[in-house]
Amino acid sequence: MQMNINKMSFGVVVMSVWMLSAGALTAAVVEPANTDEILCNPGMGICHYQYSSRIWAYGAQLEQGDTLEWMPGTTVLYMRLPWAYLEPQEGMYRWDLLESRAASWLKAGKKLAFRISCMDHTMISTPQWAIDAGIKGKKYPYKNKPGNAIVFEPVWDDPVLLEKYGNFLKAFAVRYDGNPDVAFVDLGSFGQYGEGHSMTLGSIRKKDPEEFNRLCRLHLDLLRKNLPNTYLVVSDDIGGGGWIKGKDGKRISDHPLFEYCRSIGIGLRDDSIMCQPEPYHWASDHFGRIFAKETPVVIETGHITKRLERGIWDPKKLRRCIEEYQASYISIHGFPDLYWETNKHVWHEFANRLGYRFELRKVEYPETVKISEPVTVRSSWVNVGVAPQYANASLTWKLLDDKGTVCWSVTDPNFGFRSLPPKLDGIEKSVTVDSRCTFGFSASIPNNGNDAILNWCVKNNRNDPGGAVDLLEPGVYTLAVSVGRKDGKPEIALPLKGGVDRVYPVGRIAVTKAGSSK
């Protein structure tokens, strides 16, 4: 990492006196100027549809290698494909359909997400070989209307379906379960597109809700069993899509299937945002806020082409929707260039509320520290996003030399960013963190005459450490901050100026030798 420290902008610095751990010392007080830059961070962001069951839409027409850097905040390549495409013959898998398009995105540091469906509305999505193997079900025109595409709806608890699709999931898991490049995987095997609705399922839900729940749990368990180390999400439609009302005429506050999902660590997505005109732009925000307490929520807009045709697309509603669901991801259902042109005037407004966004409001630290002597770095933080940072990132303070090289790094073991509450209903909550830091290490050199390497150094007058060693040279450094792993590796982008590789300068700090009076 190379950076010109002398040209960096640290923010507004005010000198004051502050009681620190080492005594009454002159302290630097820095109030950084946060930017409105749209950030790409793990566990959140805008999801681009590469395939929308249709192999040709929506990303297949992009130039190969286009990772939508021109559409800020895009962090995930989402691929929804029929099972029939990926396993055209039993045991023969077409992973190349996924990985050929994924390569450029992974190189750009972005993530992947998947849904593999057993039933769609434009084709037969269950492989013919699996139907021939004995999967029970029926073929009929979509919505039973003559002229529509023929679809195949399996019997949802058919043992051959569960066995064959389960075998597919096992093979899928070898590549993708626990893969750090995978953001999430959707339930795809239950209902059309995995959304829990079909001609048959609608009738079952109405006549026997418990039977519907039983069928759904079979598929939830199948997915969780085969992908135990992957974040999984399921459509809100399995719980009625938010439209189901109780005996009092009000929307139900929760659903047994949602309770079950949360018990096995499966999160929520809503595939039907802005599909209908007001007041029916969305219906499951109350479920979203329940899930958002523990897991990232995914929302997906309806196909923008259809919404524009009907005149019901309202870009200004995107921010409100994100807030009401406390969404971490928004999946854009449309051609990227059309989506961008239609919504770019509100892009900053909703993208900077999506997921989490950490603003460093204030830092207080001693102007001078001694090697090996503990001091306190006090910082104040606000999460201005709508959701928590579920991975609980750590806070690290670093000392950089004038070339930008990290010379010392201290990670706070007691603070995690999961504790920062999101900004909701216009209310933000600042959290102050006192990080106990010791910069450098000083120790005497033990010498009992038996250290052959030390004796060689003394004898040859080369690399002789003398009687003591300081692992940090005294001098003036840049104090910098990063957010990321417990080992200090930066992972989270911050809206601060001057950062390189997600390490951000705060101010200057002098380091003196241990025991020095200066």
Strand, coil or helix: 510: strand
Going by CATH, does the domain composed of 5-32+363-444+477-512 fall within 2.60.40? yes
The one-letter code for the residue type at 223 is L
508 - beta bridge partners?
478
Per-residue pLDDT of 448-465, as tens digits, reads 888 999 999 999 999 888
Q: What is the CATH number of domain 45-118+154-351?
A: 3.20.20.80
CA-closest candidate to residue 79, choices 163, 182, 165: 182
What is residue 182's predicted lDDT score, i.e. its pLDDT?
Answer: 98
Q: Label each residue of 30-94 as H, E or C.
A: EECCCCCCCCCCCCCEEEEEEEECEEEEECCCCCCCCCCCCCCCEEEEEEEEEHHHHCCECCECC
Query: What is the rounded distance in angstroms from the CA atom of residue 350 to the CA atom of residue 297?
Result: 15
302, 436, 510 from 433: Cα distances, Å: 42, 10, 22
Is the pTM higher than 0.85? The answer reads yes
Structure tokens at 484: 């990321």
- One digit per residue, pLDDT tens: the chain, 518 residues? 444 444 444 454 443 434 444 444 589 999 999 999 999 999 999 999 999 999 999 998 899 999 999 999 999 999 999 999 999 999 999 999 999 999 999 999 999 999 999 999 999 999 999 999 999 999 999 988 998 999 999 999 999 999 999 999 999 999 999 999 999 999 999 999 999 999 999 999 999 999 999 999 999 999 999 999 999 999 999 998 877 777 777 788 899 999 999 999 999 999 989 888 888 789 999 999 999 999 999 999 999 999 999 999 999 999 999 999 999 999 999 999 999 999 999 999 999 999 999 999 999 999 999 999 999 999 999 999 999 999 999 999 999 999 999 999 999 999 999 999 999 999 999 999 999 999 999 988 888 888 999 999 999 999 888 888 889 999 999 999 999 999 999 999 999 999 999 999 999 999 999 766 55
What is residue 250's predicted lDDT score, i.e. its pLDDT?
Answer: 79
Contacts of 300 (CB under 8 A, 6+ apart): 47, 269, 270, 271, 272, 273, 330, 331, 332, 333
What is residue 8's predicted lDDT score, i.e. its pLDDT?
Answer: 46
* Omega before 58 within 30 of 0, i.e. cis: yes
Query: What is the rounded distance in angstroms from the CA atom of residue 90 to the CA atom of residue 93?
Result: 8
Query: What is the rounded distance in angstroms from the CA atom of residue 202 to the CA atom of residue 325?
Result: 26
Q: What angle do CA 25, 26, 28 make, to 5 degrees?
A: 125
First vs last C-alpha separation in the chain: 31
Structure tokens at 477: 């450094």
| Domain-wise residue ranges, the chain | 5-32+363-444+477-512, 45-118+154-351
Q: Do domains 5-32+363-444+477-512 and 45-118+154-351 have the same CATH topology?
A: no
